[in-house]
Amino acid sequence: MKRINQRRIGLSLGAAIGCAILFLAASQSAGAATITVQSLSGGSDGAVCTLRDAITAANLDLAAGGCPAGNGDDVIVLAVEGTINLTSALPFIYKRGDT
């Protein structure tokens, strides 16, 4: 009986911690945009979202190139495989309060 109770307590605690983490993640990302990079181009390309444009869109909360506007603390997703050859240094990535 003792082992069963310990397992139940362990599972309940694990479930509670998992729920708390999901809640915190959801509350931090509320209102944030997901910006998906769809090009290996190192520059700016108005037709598709590049890494350079994604950083700019996230920093300024405005659409840039083929990327949608950011909104608060954004997430940039790389949906491409391969090497992005940069033509120059990428823009600095700002967090809120830095700009």
- Count of domains for the chain: 2
Residue 99 confidence class, pLDDT cut points 50, 70, 90: low
**1, 17: one domain:** yes
Tell me the pLDDT tens digit for each residue of 6-60.
333 333 333 433 333 333 344 344 578 999 999 999 888 788 999 999 999 999 9
DSSP per-residue letters across 13-54: HHHHHHHHHHHHHHHHHTT--EEEE----SS--TTS--HHHH
| H-helix or E-strand spanning residue 78 | strand 75-78
Question: Quick check: pTM over 0.75?
Answer: no
Return the higher-pLDDT residue of 8 and 68.
68
The residue type found at 28 is Q
Q: In angstroms, rounded to a whole number, what is the distance separating the alpha carbons of residues 96 and 99?
A: 7
DSSP 58-70: HHHTS-BTTBPP-
| 81 and 53 within one domain | yes
Domain that holds residue 51: 32-99
Q: Do 56 and 87 have their domain in common? A: yes
